[in-house]
Structure 1
Amino acid sequence: MALLVERFGEVVYRNELTNYLATQVTTLTRNSLDLHIMRLRRRLQSIDLSIRTAWGRGYILEAMRS
């Protein structure tokens, strides 16, 4: 979440998130990042934020669209 917050509204590349996650988790699988993003998306709904997928690049944290 820290990388997404630091670069709010900008693309955070998937490999950057994977590298950051690798320092936090002892066992990193291919689906670890997807699982973390899914959990973050659920939590962010209540405060009107969303994580949008930038296909082929990464993710963007932004305010929910009306």
Structure 2
Amino acid sequence: MKEPLCPRCKIRTDLIKESETLSSGEKVVRYFYKCPVCGTRINISNLLLKHDKDSIVIEKSV
């Protein structure tokens, strides 16, 4: 799959994945494309991972 072009400067974007641990112990994983020239971000999706008794719950938002 080809990376989309930046809507601002028409340069090929990079796929970035970043994760963050919240104070509640939950984790957020973000997927987005970022232009290496101007820094424009194109969000793909966010995942919220949290513990529920004996399992892990994954919630996805676009």
TM-score calculated relative to the size of structure 2: 0.30
Larger RCO (alpha carbons 8 Å, 6+ apart): 1
Greater gyration radius: 2
